[in-house]
Each structure stands twice: as structure tokens, then as C-alpha cells.
Structure 1
Amino acid sequence: MKFLFLHQNFPGQFKHLAPALVQAGHEVFALTSRFEQSQTWRGVRIIAYRWSEPEAQRHHAWLGLMNRAVHRGEVCLRALQSLKARGLQPDAIIAHSGWGEALFVRDVFPDTPLGIFSELYYRAEGSDIDFDPEFQTGQEFGRSARIRMRNLAMRMQLESADRGISPTRFQADTHPPDLRDRIDVIHDGIDTDAIRPAADAVYDHDSLRLTRDDEVVTFVNRNLEPYRGYHSFMRALPALLKARPRARVMIVGSDGVSYGAAPKDGRSWKQVFLDEVRPQIPQEDWARVHFVGQLPYGAFLSLLQVSTVHVYLTYPFVLSWSLMEAMAAECAIVASDTAPVREVIEDGQTGVLVDFFDPAAIADQIARLAADPERRAALGRAARQRIVERYDLSRVCLPQHFAWVERLAASGPARNGTA
């Protein structure tokens, strides 16, 4: 069979599924703007398209995301027409809905089964948008209307699809009921054969060498920002460093913004909260805090393997792969008591849950766990077992993905007035 993936940053969430379909004997294509030239990646034939942000256009502020989605959708529409003219007729198309690439798939392939990766549906209340009062600016005029418009491109793509797929139940359940029924919950998968504990692990990077004999507190984000609790973690540092005088704190992440808004004063979020807490920490304690930026993946895994306590904090938002990778490495975890985390961590069984907004409690729970090796070992074993049983890549998630793809390919096109 022939499968076509659409993802502006391919492989993204399809990094396991797409090459696995190749290995199973299928022809797999990917339309993406990540690469400048067409090429082959792990057997997947990548078809590059050029994309640039629309400029100098007048539109309502609430239409910003929709406007970009329509522009990208138009570029993909032209690319799909070209592919069809060259003879490509996929048996199924699978697309991420976040950037509008599948908006006009039905105009080119009206009868081809379409599956949509549905990562998150924004909600004005009871989710990330209104979670953190520190960054609320009062009652925003028209917030619900703005959020509905932000979802419009994702809604249109899922409405035209035969099936949707979402990695966690929390993420699937952010969608409204009329769309939720289309979505199957299947995680991307964690390679527990490659990500596992190692008693002899060594983290040796940038002149710093750590082993499991060291006391290491790890905190990992793609970018250091409030959505992932960077401010709460930084505010916990003064008490934590005082309570654990041997602990080294390893902070992984870049200075940019993945989610939410940037600080208004031009600084990075990293710098904002570093400036806030630094005066509270003596120099001898501050010397044990290491900002290591983005790590090569091998160094990242080694860091998890030597971690004494791993900390993961998040708004009610997309769950990070890094949490589940830390669980697979048998890390003892202190995590925020928020809905997406509760899906994988049971308090006192597979980790310790703590109030996202309570730096004192965060510091206390990290210190308690650092001082209790037997409890850490028990929590780590249970955490890995949870991942192995429910989220293992080769034995659980890939078989589920293959079954989903087979059902998708066997289905007919959506008939709901939008196709």
C-alpha cells in the first residue's frame, strides 16, 4: 500500500510509524517543509515544499493562526495536485492538524481515507489558557471567541477526516464531543529497549562527569518557560540547595518559547526567573546549578540514567516525551499534580505528585526523595513497569498504530457535508 504523511516538521510524531510502515513493505511518502530538497529518510520518500510566513497582510488579530494555516494549506494543495498529476494515488493520508497542511486534501483526493493527528484542542477555560494566574492580564475581551477561531483550522481538518488519533486521553478529551468520537487514543510509543536504567551510567559532557554515586536533580524542557513549570522549579531552588548540600541541579532546555508568550521586557523566561532567585542563593550553592542547554540525545539519556530525582512540571497541556522517557529509565519522579501527568503517574506508586504552584512543597518532596534510596528505587521500578506495560514502542504502541492504519485504509471518505 501507499501512505502519504503531511507534517511541516516531519517526522515529528510519525518518527516511528512512518519507517515501520516501510519495513512492513509499504511505500511511504512525506510532504514537509522541514527539508529544502527531496530525499529519502529511513526508506520514506520525503517531498519538500517551500514555505514562508505571510507578510504585510491585513486581517483580524484573532485570525492570525487561521490565516497562516490557509496559506500553508494552499501551498500543500498545489503540492498535492502536482503529486497526483505525477501519478501518486495514496491508499491513505495521515496528517498533523496543527499547521493547516490537510485543509484542502479533499479537494485533490476526495475518496482517499484521511487520518488526522489531533494533538490538542484549545479551551478558554479549564485548561492551559487560564491555568496560571500569574500570567493572566485580567478579563480578556473576547477570549472564548479568540480561542474558537484558534481552533478553526484544526476543526475543519478533523471534520473532513475519517479518523483522528491522539497520544493521550487528556489530549483527546480536550476536543468537543462531536469531534472526540472520531479520535482514537494511541501513544507515539517509548523505546524501552533503548531507554532503560544502567547502574554503570556516566554523564560526561561539557567537562562535567556524573555517575549514580552523585546526587543529581534533573529538570528537562525543550525551552525553559512557564508552561513547563520553569518558574516554579526555579523558585524551589533556594530551599532545595540548602536542604541538599551535595545535590547538583541539571537544567536542560533552551532560551526560547515553545508555548505561550515571550516576556514583554525582551528577556528570556530563563533570565527572568534566574534574575529573580539568584540573589537568594549563596555562590557556593549556585555553583551546583548547571544550565546545560539542549543536549545530544545520548547525553540526555545518560543524564536520566544518573538522575537521583527527576522533576517534571506542566500546565494542563500536551504531555512531554521526556517524562515518559524518564520513567522508562527508572527515574524517581516529582511531578505536577495536573491532569495530563495523572494519566501516567499515580501518586506514591509511580512517582510523587505535587502542587504546581507550591515551590516550598516541590523543594520538600525532592529533598525527601533524594534522602530515601529505597523509596526512589521502588518508585523507579514501578514507573518503568507502567511504561513497559502501556506505552512500549515495539510491543504495544506500534501494533496499535498498525491496526489503526489498517482500519483507516479500509474506511471510506468522511460524508458530513465538509468533504
Structure 2
Amino acid sequence: MRVLFVHQNFPGQYKHLAPALAARRDCEVVALSINRQPTPDNIKLICYEPKRGSSQSLHPWVSDLETKVIRGEAAALAAAQLNREGFRPDVICAHPGWGEALFLKDVWPDARMLSFIEFYYESQGSDFAFDPEYADTSLASLCRLRMKNANHLLTLIASDWAISPTQFQRDQVPALFHDRMSVIHDGIDTALVRPNPAARLTLEKAGVTLSRADEVITFVNRNLEPYRGFHVFMRALPEIQKRRPNAWVLILGGDEVSYGASPPKGQTYRQILMAEVGAKLDMNRIRFLGRVPYGNFLKLLHVSSAHVYLTYPFVLSWSMLEAMAAECLVIGSATAPVEEVIVDGENGLLVDFFSPEAIADAIDRVLDDPDRLQPLRARARQTVIERYDLNTVCLPRHLALVDAVAEGRLPPQGQDAPPSPTAAAMRRALQAKREPEYRRHVSRRRR
């Protein structure tokens, strides 16, 4: 079997699947990517480069689509060269988010394509306009959002099958395509990410070594931005420190923007929030750690007393599931797709995304009596083992799906994760409840 992986930053979500297929004697694996990354010898990596930049004179509503067409053209030209060299994939595993998959079926019409649909945009019940403080609900913004889905729709039409990592992410896609989609998470290596009660984390500049005996509050994201609730967490910190003056607060993440709008030019969201609440904080016990090596990230989880994970209704971060696998007590936002994983009071705690007070209350509850809530930590890890474990659940399902698509069969039964029947109802209820409350909160803060 010949498999082609297409990802602008390969391996990306294919970091486990591609090597597993390449290890098979009957598989030839090739990858297309813009960025060159270290790749195993048994995977042939070919890098392509867009031939031009985006136009300046295009209608702004189609500029995003043009960018994706330019990338799609570059990937198609590289694919055509592969075709001339005699490479004919049986299955194409593509992340189409940046446009690379648009024209692959025009190069190889007989190949079957399995597309990774990470996020389909919706104007309601999703990330768009979720946060009144940063929402742009103008007609132009709504129209640009609709146009962003053109790439997804073209890819879905060309795809033989598609996959999303959570039920919520699958449900964003129009129902027309649901009967050709599976829900399989990328997978968490729970043999690697596991609790370590003896772990120590040294903060060299502070001259302190932390362990599970200390009160340690952790907050982790790739970048510190509103999509991941950084602004709400920062506004909760004055009350948290008032109640827990001995707690250490460790914040991991960069100052760039992964999702959503950028802050005013020359500023970062960290600078903006520090200007707002910094005078109320004891910075001697708060550490912004930036981005750290993976081993240090695991140590952070190992010593965490309370791990806060907030997100708009959007893509679920690997870090939340990794925190649960490490037996952190996760205080998560009551938003999709967090609600698919965390059941309040069973394997973690859920709070209103917009409520700094609720976050402080939950942290106070956890730190007041950590032994009483230890069963939640154990059940958090068990949840990840049973539903998201890389080697026993997710990778076998991914491999079976690739085989099925390559052979033109319907995927095996049981590929889809169980739906979260209450998630949609909870989203609607929270939306109705919190929007006027949060608008008042923002109004008071601005005055």
C-alpha cells in the first residue's frame, strides 16, 4: 500500500500514524510539506514552495481562499512531479486546513482521500461571537467567515472519507457529510504521560523547587490569548492570590496569536492583561514560563495541584488530555468540546468560561481539601486511558480506517466516539445565561 501524507507542517496530527504505517513492510510512505522537519528514514519527505504571494487588490472576502489556492497549487505541482516519477498513492491522508488538498484528486483521480477536518466555521454555537469582548459580528466578518469554509467544502466533496478528533468538531461540519466521517482522536501516550508523585520542578530564578506538597496552580496553552481564556484567568488571579497567598501560579505559553484577532500593534495579550490587573498581583509567586521542552511540561503537570484549562468552543488542546493523563485535577470551562471529556464532579470540575469568580471558587475548593478530590484525578486518567489512549484505542482505529479507505470499504463499526448528548443543550443554556451577565461585567470593567 502506498500512502501520501499532506500537512503544511508535517507530521502535525500524523506524528504517530505516519511512522506506524511506514513501519509496515507492505507500506510505502511519502509526505508533502512546506516546512522541513526531522523525518524517519522510511518516510520520504518532499517540500513544496508557493510560487507567489497573495494579491493586494482582491476583494477581502476572497483573500483567504486565494491564499489556500496558492498553497493548493504548490502542493499539486509537487504531486504532479511525484506522479511523473511513478508514485501512485492508494490513499491520501491530508490536513486540508491551509489549502494543500484542494487539487490532489485532479492529479490522482483514482486515489482515495482521507481528510482531517479540524474545524468547520459556524456563526452560531461555536467560537465566532462567543466572547462579547472580542466579537466582531459585522456583516463583513460574517461573510468572511462563510468564505473561509469554501476550502473545506471543496475538500469534503473531493474526499472519500473524513475524520475529526472530537464529536463537537465533527458536528460543526454540515450534516450532509456526516455519513462519511469518523471521530477518532489523535491519541495520548498514557505510558509516557502518567502521574509522578516524586516529581520536582525547579524554578531557577526564584531559587525554589516545587513538588506535589506545594500549592501549584498551572495554566498551559501554546499561546496566551483570549481563545484559550487567558484574559479570564488573569482577571481571576487577584482573587485567587487573595485566598491562596502561598500558591505558586505557573503559566506556560508564548506571546504570539494562534487563533483569533491579534492585539493592537506592538502589544501582546500578556502586556494588555498585566496593565489591567498587574498592580493587584504578587508577581513573586507568578511565573510566565514561555514555551518549554516537553519534559519540563510534564514536570509542570506532575507538580500541579489545580490545572486550569479554558477555551472557546473550538479545537480541543492535547494539553488538556495530557493533564488528565498525568492525574491533574483539571478545572475546565463548560464549553464544547471540554464537556465531551470532563463530567463535573466525576473526573474534573467545570466552570463558566466567563466567570473569574467561579474559577477562583473552584481552585479554592481543590486546594482546601486535595485528598477528598483525589478520586477525580484517578478517574481523569482512566477517562483518557479508556477513550483516548494512543496505543490501545486511537492508533489502532486510525490504522484500521486508513486500511478501509485504501481498500474502498466502509470503515469498521465503532469508529465514532460516543456523542455527548447534553453538550449542545448545556451550550445553549450557558449562552443564554452568561451573555447578559458578561456584558454587564465588561461594561463595569470598562467604566
TM-score range, shorter chain: over 0.9
- Closer/same/farther in 2, CA of residues 330 and 42 from structure 1, 3 Å limit: farther
The answer to whether the 8 A contact 1:172-1:185 is kept is yes
1:342 and 2:343 correspond: no
Amino acid at match of 2:35: R
The answer to whether the 8 A contact 2:256-2:268 is kept is yes
Task: Provide the residue aligned with 1:359 in structure 2.
Answer: 356
Task: Give secondary structure in 2 for the equivalent of 1:179.
Answer: helix
- Closer/same/farther in 2, CA of residues 180 and 42 from structure 1, 3 Å limit: farther
1:395 aligned to which of 392, 414, 424: 392
Q: Within 5 A, what are the aligned runs for 1:237-316?
A: 237-281=237-281, 285-316=282-313
- Closer/same/farther in 2, CA of residues 363 and 354 from structure 1, 3 Å limit: same
Task: Provide the residue aligned with 1:43 in structure 2.
Answer: 42
1:104 and 2:103 correspond: yes
Task: Provide the residue aligned with 1:182 in structure 2.
Answer: 180
Deviation by residue 1:41-92 (Cα, 9 ceiling, x = unmatched):
2632111112477144321111122111000000111100000111111111
The answer to whether the 8 A contact 1:69-1:99 is kept is yes
1:202 aligned to which of 200, 203, 210: 200
1:144 and 2:142 correspond: yes
Please list every run of 5 or more consecutive structure 1 residues that lacks an aligned counterpart in the other structure.
Answer: 414-419
> Quick check: 46-55 or 256-265, which moved more?
46-55
Share of identical aligned residues, percent? Answer: 51
Distance in 1 (CA, whole Å) between partners of 2:327 and 2:145 is 38
Deviation by residue 1:3-57 (Cα, 9 ceiling, x = unmatched):
0000001100000100011123221111001118xx7426321111124771443
Task: Provide the residue aligned with 1:417 in structure 2.
Answer: none
Q: So what's the TM-score if we normalise by structure 1?
A: 0.94
The answer to whether the 8 A contact 1:337-1:355 is kept is yes
Task: Provide the residue aligned with 2:432 in structure 1.
Answer: none
- Closer/same/farther in 2, CA of residues 59 and 93 from structure 1, 3 Å limit: same
Deviation by residue 1:170-225 (Cα, 9 ceiling, x = unmatched):
10000111122221000000000000001111123544522112111000010000
Task: Give secondary structure in 2 for the equivalent of 1:380.
Answer: helix
1:133 and 2:138 correspond: no
Task: Give secondary structure in 2 for the equivalent of 1:249.
Answer: strand
Task: Provide the residue aligned with 1:27 in structure 2.
Answer: 28
The answer to whether the 8 A contact 2:119-2:315 is kept is yes
Distance in 2 (CA, whole Å) between partners of 1:64 and 1:220 is 32
The answer to whether the 8 A contact 1:113-1:412 is kept is no
Amino acid at match of 2:398: H
Amino acid at match of 1:275: A
The answer to whether the 8 A contact 2:164-2:181 is kept is yes
Amino acid at match of 2:73: E
Task: Provide the residue aligned with 1:89 in structure 2.
Answer: 88
Task: Give secondary structure in 1 for the equivalent of 2:372.
Answer: helix
The answer to whether the 8 A contact 1:77-1:104 is kept is yes
2:366 aligned to which of 369, 387, 407: 369
- Closer/same/farther in 2, CA of residues 266 and 52 from structure 1, 3 Å limit: farther
Task: Give secondary structure in 1 for the equivalent of 2:245.
Answer: coil
**Which 4+ residue blocks in structure 1 deviate beyond 6 angstroms?**
none
Deviation by residue 1:215-245 (Cα, 9 ceiling, x = unmatched):
1100001000000000000000001011111
- Closer/same/farther in 2, CA of residues 327 and 40 from structure 1, 3 Å limit: closer
CA RMSD of superposed structures (Å): 1.6
Distance in 2 (CA, whole Å) between partners of 1:173 and 1:72 is 27
Amino acid at match of 1:149: M
The answer to whether the 8 A contact 2:334-2:351 is kept is yes
- Closer/same/farther in 2, CA of residues 391 and 336 from structure 1, 3 Å limit: same
The answer to whether the 8 A contact 2:54-2:63 is kept is no
Amino acid at match of 2:326: A
Deviation by residue 1:71-125 (Cα, 9 ceiling, x = unmatched):
0000111100000111111111110010111100111100101110000100111
Distance in 1 (CA, whole Å) between partners of 2:271 and 2:88 is 51
Task: Give secondary structure in 2 for the equivalent of 1:314.
Answer: coil
- Closer/same/farther in 2, CA of residues 404 and 135 from structure 1, 3 Å limit: same
1:164 aligned to which of 162, 165, 168: 162
Please list every run of 5 or more consecutive structure 2 residues that lacks an aligned counterpart in the other structure.
Answer: 411-447
Aligned residues: 407
Distance in 1 (CA, whole Å) between partners of 2:3 and 2:227 is 35
Task: Provide the residue aligned with 1:325 in structure 2.
Answer: 322
Compute the displacement of 1:265 (Å).
Answer: 4.8
Amino acid at match of 1:203: L
Task: Provide the residue aligned with 2:420 in structure 1.
Answer: none
Task: Give secondary structure in 1 for the equivalent of 2:31.
Answer: strand
Task: Give secondary structure in 1 for the equivalent of 2:133.
Answer: helix
Amino acid at match of 1:33: I
The answer to whether the 8 A contact 1:112-1:412 is kept is no
Deviation by residue 1:356-411 (Cα, 9 ceiling, x = unmatched):
00001101111110111123311110000000000000000011001110111011
Distance in 2 (CA, whole Å) between partners of 1:153 and 1:263 is 27
Task: Give secondary structure in 2 for the equivalent of 1:373.
Answer: coil
